[in-house]
A = this chain, B = another copy of it.
Amino acid sequence: MDSSRFAQTPQPPYWAVIFSNQRSDADGGYGEMAERMVTLAAQQPGFLGMESTRDAAGFGITVSYWASEADIAAWKANAEHQVARQLGRAQWYAGFELRVARVERAYAMRKPEAT
Contact = CB atoms under 8 A, between A and B. Distances in A.
A55 interface: yes
A-side interface mostly: strand
Given A1-B22, A111-B95, A53 B60 contact: yes
Contact of A61 (B12, B51, B111): B51
Interface hub of A5, A52, A56, A111 (most chain B Cβ within 10 A): A5
A7 B98 CA distance: 11
Interface residues of A, number: 45
Interface string A92-115: 011111111111111111110000
A84 interface: no
Given A5-B59, A56-B56, A103 B99 contact: yes
